[in-house]
Amino acid sequence: MTIEMKTNYGNIDVSKEVVAVIAGGAAVDCYGIVGMASQKQLKDGITDLLGRENLGRGVVIREEENGPIHIDMYIIVGYGTKISEVAHNVQSKVKYQLKQMLGLKVESVNIFIQGVRVLNP
C-alpha cells in the first residue's frame, strides 16, 4: 500500500513502510523513549524491545479514503519519566517530521505504552 500525494509537478507515491520508519525514528529520538515495541506481540503478553533496524514494526499507518492519516505507535518508556509528557512529545515530533520530510498532514498519532524499562546510566 502507498500513500498518494498530488503536487503541481505530478503524483508522488510513498510506501507506508517508509512513513512508518520515519515516524519510528522520530519517536526514538524523543527523551524518555527506550524503544519501540511490536504490536503483534500483544496477544502473547510479551513486549520485546525492537532495535534500530526494526523501527517501522512498532508503527501502524491507517489512511482513510482520500482523507487524513492516522498513526498508532507502540513504545516503551524509561522509568521515572512523566508518561503523558513523553507521549505528547512523541506526538508532536512525529507530526512535525512527517510534515517537514514528506509534506503529510497527520490527523492523529495514537500512543500505546507497552512497557516501562529502567534507563541505563
For the domain that residue 55 is a member of, what is the CATH number?
3.30.70.1350
Residue range 3-15, pLDDT digits in tens? 887 888 988 888 8
Q: What pTM does this model have?
A: 0.81
Q: Predicted confidence band at 121 (pLDDT cuts at 50, 70, 90)?
A: low
The range of the structural domain enclosing residue 93 comes to: 2-117
CB 74, CB 41: distance < 8 Å: no
Q: How far apart are CA 116 and CA 64, in angstroms?
A: 32
**For residue 118, pLDDT beyond 70:** yes
Domain count, the chain: 1
CB 41, CB 47: distance < 8 Å: yes
Return the closest-CA partner of residue 112 out of 62, 56, 58: 58
Q: 105 exposed, middle or buried (CB, 10 Å; 0-12, 13-18, 19+)?
A: exposed
